[in-house]
Every structure is written in structure tokens, then in C-alpha cells.
């Protein structure tokens, strides 16, 4: 535009160029831009970055950097090491490596998760076995669930969670030995099964009842029930579970919830087979 000289009141030869925002920039959200820039930055950093380094490299205030990292960390996309440096979290790898089969299974199971969650007022999850851990790939949250602790992408121990037990209960003894590799089982509460021998005995009970239970074995005050989901060949491909507080899930309620899940698992397996 043409600027007017403040003293002589006439148009000067000074020309100020005002550019209209480019269309691609006009519709970009700064917060999303920053989050993606952070993930890309961490992806090329072998040793990870401190909060100060991220702030400097992205040219954003430390306070903004803190909130950005905290948000992504709570979702599992960023993790902080003992050295105070941040790197890409496990959730990032899960999203990148999620198979089409898992995505299809999650989409197919979602209505079942929502229905049973609404029916029993408990949070329902769908998990699969990955290596020596279970990973949640689907979830329907109950409005009564105030504890959290279950989110899509979370990795779970196999020996102290209902989902984990349901996923490995049908494995042969040799496969269990290979899966745990002689390593010690982490003990989270006095109720946690801390030996592989004890776990094998417990899994026999799971096979007998048809459902697995987590009776405050990982977190005090939290119980869960889970059953396996099998494909047309009879192989366990996932586990569906219900979780809640020890007040919501009394010991007397466990068999009832187990039977509820068995019915849902059967219906889901039939739909998978096209019946």
C-alpha cells in the first residue's frame, strides 16, 4: 500500500508490501503444527532432547513446551528418560505399526464394547498380544470410571492383568516358558502372582472357569474380568475385558461379569466368521 507522510500530508514513495496469507497457512492450527514439529524433531534425535533444547529448537517458550510435552506424554507419544531427555513414546510406535487386521478388529468390536459397557456400567477394553505384553487397541469408557488407567495403546503386563491372562491361558507350557524367558515377574501388590509356577497353576483355573480375573493384582482398589476372543480356527486373537473399582466389582459379581463377557466374545467371534 502507499504510505502517507506524517508531516507534508502527501503520498510518499515508500511502498509497504502487505501479503495475503497463503491458503495452506490460513487453515493451519498452531498447536497441531507445534505438536507435529516436536514429534518430527524427536524422530531424528538419537539421544533425545531436554525441555530447554526443544524450546530453543522450536523457538517457543519453555512454558508452552512443557504443556506440549506433557500433553503428548499423557497420550503415550512422548516419554521422558531417567536422564531428563525426551524421546518418542511407545504409543507412537504402536500407531505406526498397527496392522490392518488389528484396526479391522477394533472397528468390528467397538459396538460390542459400547453395548456391554453401557449394560454393566463398567469400562470395556479390547487387547491383543504383542511380544511379551498385551496392548489395548479398543475401549468404551463408562461414565462411572473415575480412575482412568486404561487407554488405547497402553502396554500391560501379562501375569497380573485380566487381559494378559486371558490372552495366554491357552498357551502350551513350552510357549509360556519361552514367553517369559526365565525373567522375574514384577510384583505390584501383595496379591500379584510373582512366580511362573504360580502363574501356570492360576492359568489352569482360568481355562476351567472360562474367564480371567485381576483381583487388585496390579493396582489397589481395581478389579477386572476378561475372556479370550477366538477366530474361526479356534486361536486366541484378542481379549475383551471389563474393569472398575473394587466397590463396583465385588468378588460375588465376578462370575456374573465373566458370563456376560463370554456371551459377548461368542457373538463377536460369530460375526467375525460371517455367521
Q: What percent of the chain clears pLDDT 90, i.e. is strictly above it?
A: 40
Dihedral angle over CA of 164, 165, 171, 174, nearest 10: 90
Report the alpha-carbon distance of residue 163 to residue 37 in Å, rounded. Answer: 35
Start-end of CATH 3.30.450.40 domains in the chain: 98-272
Start-end of CATH 1.10.10.10 domains in the chain: 2-94
Mean pLDDT, residues 117-129: 93
> Which pLDDT tens digit goes with each residue over 7-35?
434 443 333 344 444 555 566 788 888 88
> Which pLDDT tens digit goes with each residue over 154-206?
889 999 999 999 999 999 888 999 888 878 899 999 999 999 999 999 999 99
> CATH assignment of 98-272?
3.30.450.40
User: Which segments of the chain does DSSP mark as H helices, in order?
Assistant: 23-26, 30-43, 51-58, 62-74, 90-97, 100-120, 162-168, 173-180, 196-209, 254-272
> Which pLDDT tens digit goes with each residue over 61-89?
989 989 999 888 887 788 888 788 888 87
Mean of pLDDT over the chain: 83
Q: What percent of the chain clears pLDDT 70, i.e. is strictly above it?
A: 83
Highest mean pLDDT among 139-143, 145-149, 163-167, 183-187: 163-167
Confidence of residue 98 (pLDDT cuts 50, 70, 90): low
> CATH assignment of 2-94?
1.10.10.10
* Of 91 and 240, the one with more pLDDT: 240
3-class secondary structure, 30: helix
Amino acid at each position: 500500500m502507499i504510505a502517507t507522510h506524517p508531516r507534508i500530508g502527501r503520498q510518499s514513495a515508500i511502498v509497504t508490501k502487505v501479503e495475503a496469507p497463503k491458503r495452506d497457512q490460513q487453515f493451519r492450527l498452531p498447536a497441531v503444527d507445534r505438536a507435529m514439529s516436536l514429534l518430527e524433531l524427536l524422530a531424528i534425535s538419537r539421544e533425545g532432547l531436554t525441555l530447554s533444547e526443544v524450546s530453543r529448537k522450536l523457538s517457543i517458550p519453555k512454558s508452552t513446551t512443557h504443556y506440549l510435552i506433557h500433553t503428548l506424554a499423557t497420550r503415550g507419544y512422548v516419554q521422558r528418560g531417567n536422564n531428563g531427555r525426551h524421546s518418542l513414546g511407545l504409543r507412537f510406535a504402536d500407531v505406526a505399526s498397527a496392522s490392518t487386521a488389528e484396526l479391522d478388529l477394533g472397528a468390528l468390536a467397538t459396538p460390542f464394547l459400547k453395548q456391554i459397557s453401557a449394560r454393566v456400567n463398567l469400562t470395556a477394553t479390547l487387547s491383543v498380544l504383542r511380544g511379551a505384553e498385551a496392548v489395548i487397541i479398543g475401549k468404551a469408557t463408562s461414565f462411572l470410571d473415575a480412575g482412568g488407567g486404561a487407554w488405547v495403546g497402553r502396554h500391560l503386563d501379562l501375569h497380573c492383568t485380566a487381559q494378559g491372562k486371558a490372552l495366554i491361558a491357552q498357551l502350551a507350557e513350552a510357549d509360556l516358558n519361552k514367553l517369559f524367558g526365565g525373567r522375574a515377574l514384577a510384583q505390584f501388590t501383595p496379591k500379584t502372582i510373582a512366580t511362573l509356577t504360580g502363574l501356570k497353576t492360576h492359568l489352569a483355573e482360568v481355562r476351567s472357569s472360562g474367564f480371567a480375573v485381576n483381583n487388585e493384582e496390579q493396582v489397589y482398589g481395581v478389579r477386572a474380568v476378561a475372556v479370550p476372543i477366538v477366530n474361526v480356527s479356534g486361536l486366541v486373537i484378542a481379549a475383551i475385558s471389563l474393569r472398575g473399582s473394587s466397590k463396583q466389582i465385588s468378588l460375588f459379581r465376578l462370575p456374573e461379569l465373566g458370563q456376560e463377557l463370554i456371551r459377548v466374545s461368542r457373538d463377536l467371534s460369530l460375526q467375525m466368521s460371517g455367521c
